[in-house]
Amino acid sequence: MPLIEFTEAGLYCRAGGFYIDPWKPVDRAVITHAHSDHARYGSRWYLCHHLTLPLLRLRLGDIVAESIGWNEPLKIGDVTIRLHPAGHIIGSSQIRIEHKDEVWVFSGDYKTEDDGISGAFEPVKCHTFITESTFGLPLYRWQPQAALYQSIVDWTVATVADGLTPVITGYSLGKAQRILDCLSKTGLPVFVHGAIWNIQQALLSAGLPQPEVKRVQPDLPASTYKGAVIVAPPGADGSTWMRRFSPYRTANCSGWMQVRGNVRRRNADAGFALSDHADWQGLLSAVKATGAEQVYVTHGFQSAFSRYLTELGIAAAEVKTAYGTEEEEEAAATSEGDAA
């Protein structure tokens, strides 16, 4: 019997009696991070990292939940659990499970470049590694964050200089915090959509310093936003909510912007390939660093990535899960705050 079983409800550890990021309600759920495709409502008990807990409560409401720190051992049933930084978003963790000298690691979502916000990805030695593959094709290779941030700053400042309001879109949890960190270097006032405001308040309540922002309000005159920059979930683009900023330019921040033509298809004026997932090289380096004898590849380009690992001599298999894409997370993010 494998230490982790792939079931209709999610990844199940029979020896511990819990599921990891289940997509159906279960008795005990261990959660990697607070994105809606990995943290779903309905389970009786949740376990996550300390920094994920306030975000989990914001998104799921009044739940029974506990939290632990990174690399803090916790015995559940016959297994020992440890959480290790995944670098995906604030509080995101890999789940290390040890049982009778056998170690499995579920990565959740991750990125290998340290963004200065989410905790630096920590490779964890294991026998079996379960990895995502959201951007598991060779064409996805990210620019260093410093260079990408500078491009966003330059575009924002130029848009304001042209007398237009820059509107930058990225989902409210994870991407928005990086965008706001980047924009703090412009010195411009920043207004945010209600969904992003709610996340910022949860992080502030958890004691995490955040850049100063203001919430877009329905009773503010349009002149308020002149000379300022707006940050919103992508779902707000093209909505009546956007009209108050006219005339404006839009920029979308997403790993999918790496593909030529996606800027036009998303009706944006600019696109920046800012992703909270590992690129092709990041995925490869993460897998190799684990030293795993067996690799299971989940959501994304799992067929292509698992086949490539096999060609490298790493035993790899594709696994179907119910985890979503960046687009699905972005759609969910827009509904989290009101459209004020």
For 145-272, CATH gives 3.40.50.10710
What are the C-alpha distances in Å from 91 to residues 84, 182, 206? Answer: 10, 19, 11
The DSSP output letter for 57 is H
CB contact burial 280-290 (16+ within 10 A = b; e otherwise): bebbbebbeeb
Q: Where are the domains of the chain?
A: 5-139+276-325, 145-272
Q: Tens digits of per-residue pLDDT, 162-174?
A: 999 999 999 899 9
How many residues can be counted in the chain? 340
Please enumerate in sequence order all residues whose Cβ is within 8 A of that of 76, keeping only pairs 6 or more positions apart, or say none. 16, 17, 18, 28, 47
Burial (0-12, 13-18, 19+ Cβ within 10 Å), 176? buried
- CB-CB neighbours of 217 under 10 Å: 11
CATH superfamily membership of 5-139+276-325:
Ribonuclease Z/Hydroxyacylglutathione hydrolase-like (3.60.15.10)
In this prediction, residues 240-259 reach a mean pLDDT of: 94
pLDDT of 67 above 80: yes
Write down the pTM of the prediction: 0.94
The DSSP output letter for 101 is T
In terms of Cα–Cα distance, which of 329, 279, 282, 321 is closest to 299?
321
Q: Tens digits of per-residue pLDDT, 2-49?
A: 999 999 999 999 999 999 999 999 999 999 999 999 999 999 999 999
Q: Tens digits of per-residue pLDDT, 313-331?
A: 999 999 999 897 655 555 5
Indicate the average pLDDT of the chain: 93
